[in-house]
């Protein structure tokens, strides 16, 4: 989704802006642009549909120096991808330039008023309306210097409905960038002789580790040697400087051809990190004291509701099943976008867990706010402890997966599953789970990293299976119980990056309609753990084979019946039922990856997708 990087410096800024945009590419975008103010006072704007490289190629070869600029990657919402719809956008005077993440809901009304006042627009975007509105207040203002820009933003934004993170410059203010946010993230980077604004801290890494995560309604004015933060709201702004705890190579692929493959291979480490110092062997439980939720408050919970979108939702569905089966607590899941629209009742003792890798997904944030409004205790499961979600929830369980750049969620998903296993263990031990069962779960959790390694070692044979079925026009993914949500996740991974139509189902639903889809060109991926449901899963394979459907079976212990029936078998290590979802996820990720590779897809930047969906 859209990305912002802006900088005011004592040095040339164009290379820094282009490099920053490249760090934002993973978020998904369709066009890019920048506006710089040259040292001779000329406002230069360049915008290009397509990749950042197209923008770079479009820039003049020996341009005049520029020490101040704003830049943007756009993911189209209002208006198709095009040069003219790309950001930055100018105001009516052509002297003020603005980049924006988010959506302006009342842009149509605002545009009518501006058109009536004689404004002319060059794009179909809501952002250009915002630029004109800010410019209108700037022209009318009696203030001078930076105050004139902050005042005009304050006045303009008072009439704006929607979400924004934005950075604005004006030709008459050669050192100054003003940035502000409401509902979309914006981070201030404190560099040497320069200050930066970015929508994503990863883009600041090459320049500084000292950052300030701006709060909603903060408005900041930056120059190369100074910054100030005020509030657009009634309160005084409060902020603190954080140290970015990211490895310098966090945003690099290393020796892997794709971020997705790198992140799939980082999963043993991600799981180890998520378990480190959280396993309580003495009490056969999990240390969740860092949550800041007392055992008493957790004991009072009588219902758990888990909310998320996409993969995070499927992790939540698995988590609900883990919590119900381990802690005997009623737990269910809701799509975040539905939760916010449906006015769901919440009991007095509900725990609402919002799951989100980014912690910035618009629907998940809105759902969290709705749950808080209704008085529920809220817990965020996120990879970003400084995210809006983490800051607004009562408590946070950090995933510790490390930065995830690939658009397709992989290591964040298995880290969410392991976090849910820890939560189920802790909640279970607060209730009826016996000590020996708790210990058994701890030992099984500790084996996961090496078990995942052994599945990763099968990458070549999974690639061969993927190549065999890559020309399929559709694929089905079937699982039962704890593995039903994993079937949904397997299908999501497959369609996201291979563009093959894929659908996940509860295997028990096969006979109720899905079976009509079975034919020799539609492979079914059957999740068949060696558990109490094995004979039912073998029955499902029989039903598919009877209709000449190809079957890829994922199973643990050797089973002659599955071996003879299935067209391909992927064998994974045996584990406790509760942890089967984690191990079954790995071959599904590899299957999707190798299928997309065989089809020549752009794996890290799949079409139309954004890494984090920060707009409604």
Interface with ligand AGP (CB under 6 A), residue from 356, 396, 580, 595: 356
Residue 309 in contact with ligand AGP, rule: CB under 6 A: yes
CA angle 360, 361, 366 (to 5 degrees): 100
Contact status: 407 vs ligand AGP (CB under 6 A): yes
Residue 610 and residue 479 in contact, taking contact as beta carbons nearer than 8 Å: no
Smallest gap, in angstroms, from Cβ of residue 193 to ligand AGP?
34
Q: Which of positions 570-589 make contact with ligand AGP (CB under 6 A)?
A: none
Tally of CB atoms within 10 A around 159 = 12
150 binds ligand AGP (CB under 6 A): no
Is 498 near ligand AGP (CB under 6 A)? no
CA 577 to chain centre: 28
Q: Would you say 133 or 307 has its CB closer to ligand AGP?
A: 307
Query: CA-CA distance, 566 to 148, in Å (whole number)?
Result: 71
| In the complex, least distance from residue 233 CB atom to ligand AGP, rounded to whole angstroms | 26
Our finding on whether 101 is near ligand AGP (CB under 6 A) is no
310 binds ligand AGP (CB under 6 A): yes
Nearer to ligand AGP by C-beta: 1 or 173? 1
Q: Work out which of 51, 612, 614, 615 binds ligand AGP, going by CB under 6 A.
A: 612
Residue of 312, 351, 487, 615 interacting with ligand AGP (CB under 6 A)? 312
Span near ligand AGP by CB under 6 A; candidates 153-161, 169-177, 404-412, 425-433: 404-412
Buried b (16+ CB within 10 A) or exposed e, 183-197: bbbbbbbbbeebbbb
Stated as kind and residue range, the H or E segment containing 275 is helix 267-275
Q: Give the interface size with ligand AGP as a residue count (CB under 6 A).
A: 15
Burial degree of 325 (CB within 10 A; 0-12, 13-18, 19+): middle
Nearer to ligand AGP, 311 or 556 (CB): 311
Q: Please report whether residue 379 would count as binding ligand AGP according to CB under 6 A.
A: no
Say if CB 570 and CB 553 are below 8 A apart: yes
Q: For residues 160-179, which are near ligand AGP according to CB under 6 A?
A: none
The answer to the question of residue 364 lying near ligand AGP (CB under 6 A) is yes
Query: By C-beta, is 218 or 496 nearer to ligand AGP?
Result: 496
Residue among 327, 496, 544, 588 that touches ligand AGP (CB under 6 A): 496
Taking the least distance from each CB to ligand AGP, the nearer of 191 and 402 is 402
- What angle (nearest 5°) sits at the alpha carbon of residue 583, between those of residues 580 and 589? 130
- 274 burial type by CB count under 10 A (0-12 exposed, 13-18 middle, 19+ buried): buried
Report the residue number, 160 or 582, with the smaller CB distance to ligand AGP: 582
In the numeric block, which tokens belong to residue 384? 């970003």
What part of residues 226-265 is at the interface with ligand AGP (CB under 6 A)?
none
For residue 348, give Cα distances in angstroms to 294, 297, 333, 368, 476: 17, 12, 18, 16, 40
Write out the catalytic residue numbers. Answer: 2, 611
Q: Which residue is nearest to ligand AGP (CB)?
A: 310
Q: Does 408 bind ligand AGP (CB under 6 A)?
A: yes
The values of phi and psi at residue 131, to 5°, are: -60, -45
Nearer to ligand AGP, 128 or 496 (CB): 496
Q: Which residues pair with 4 in a beta bridge?
A: 72
C-alpha angle 350-351-357 in degrees, rounded to nearest 5: 150
Residues contributing to the site for ligand AGP (CB under 6 A): 309-312, 356-358, 361, 364, 407-409, 496, 612-613
């Amino acid at each position: 989704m859209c990305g912002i990087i802006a900088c005011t410096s004592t040095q040339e800024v164009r290379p820094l802006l282009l490099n920053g945009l490249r760090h934002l590419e993973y978020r998904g975008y369709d066009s890019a642009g920048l506006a710089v103010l040259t040292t001779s006072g000329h406002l230069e704007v360049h915008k290009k549909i397509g990749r950042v490289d197209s923008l770079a190629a479009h820039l003049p070869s020996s341009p005049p120096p520029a020490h101040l600029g704003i830049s943007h990657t756009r993911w189209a919402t209002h208006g198709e991808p095009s040069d003219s719809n790309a950001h930055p956008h100018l105001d009516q005077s052509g002297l003020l330039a603005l980049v924006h993440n988010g959506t302006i809901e009342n842009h149509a009304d605002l545009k009518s008023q501006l058109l009536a006042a004689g404004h002319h627009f060059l794009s179909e975007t809501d952002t250009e309306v915002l630029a004109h509105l800010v410019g209108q207040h700037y022209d009318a203002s009696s203030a001078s210097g930076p105050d004139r820009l902050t005042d005009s933003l304050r006045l303009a934004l008072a009439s704006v409905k929607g979400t924004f993170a934005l950075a604005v410059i004006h030709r008459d203010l050669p050192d100054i960038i003003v940035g502000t946010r409401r509902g979309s993230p914006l981070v201030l980077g404190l560099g040497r002789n320069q200050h930066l604004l970015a929508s994503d801290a990863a883009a600041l890494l090459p320049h500084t580790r000292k950052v300030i995560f701006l709060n909603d309604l903060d408005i900041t004015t930056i120059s190369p040697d100074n910054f100030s933060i005020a509030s657009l709201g009634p309160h005084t702004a409060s902020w603190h400087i954080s140290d970015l705890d990211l490895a310098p190579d966090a945003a690099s692929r290393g020796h892997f051809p794709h971020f997705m493959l790198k992140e799939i291979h980082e999963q043993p480490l991600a799981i180890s990190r998520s378990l480190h110092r959280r396993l309580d062997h003495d009490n056969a439980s999990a240390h969740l004291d860092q949550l800041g939720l007392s055992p008493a408050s957790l004991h009072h919970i009588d219902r758990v509701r888990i909310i998320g979108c996409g993969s995070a939702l499927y992790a939540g569905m698995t988590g609900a099943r883990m919590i119900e089966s381990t802690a005997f607590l009623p737990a269910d899941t809701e799509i975040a976008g539905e939760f916010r629209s449906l006015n769901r009742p919440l009991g007095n003792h509900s725990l609402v867990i919002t799951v989100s890798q980014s912690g910035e997904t618009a629907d998940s944030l809105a759902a969290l706010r709705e749950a808080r409004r209704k008085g529920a205790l809220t817990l965020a499961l996120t990879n970003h402890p400084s995210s809006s979600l983490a800051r607004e929830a009562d408590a946070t369980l950090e995933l510790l997966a490390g930065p995830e750049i690939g658009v397709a969620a992989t290591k964040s998903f298995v880290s969410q599953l392991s976090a849910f296993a820890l939560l189920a263990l802790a909640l279970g031990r607060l209730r009826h789970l016996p000590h020996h069962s708790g210990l058994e779960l701890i030992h099984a959790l500790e084996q996961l990293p090496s078990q995942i390694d052994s599945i990763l070692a099968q990458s070549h044979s999974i690639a061969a299976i993927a190549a065999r079925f890559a020309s399929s026009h559709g694929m089905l993914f079937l699982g039962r119980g704890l593995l039903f949500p994993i079937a949904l996740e397997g299908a999501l991974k497959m369609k996201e990056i291979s563009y093959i139509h894929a659908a996940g189902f509860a295997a028990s639903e096969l006979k109720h309609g899905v079976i009509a889809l079975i034919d020799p060109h539609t492979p079914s991926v059957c999740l068949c753990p060696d558990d109490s449901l094995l004979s039912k899963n073998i029955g499902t394979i029989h039903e598919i084979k009877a209709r000449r459907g190809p079957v890829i079976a994922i199973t643990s212990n050797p089973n002659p019946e599955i071996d003879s029936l299935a067209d391909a078998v992927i064998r994974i290590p045996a584990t406790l039922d509760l942890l089967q979802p984690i191990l079954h996820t790995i071959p599904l990720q590899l299957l999707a990856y190798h299928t997309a590779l065989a089809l020549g897809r752009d794996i890290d930047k799949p079409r139309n997708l954004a890494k984090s969906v920060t707009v409604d």
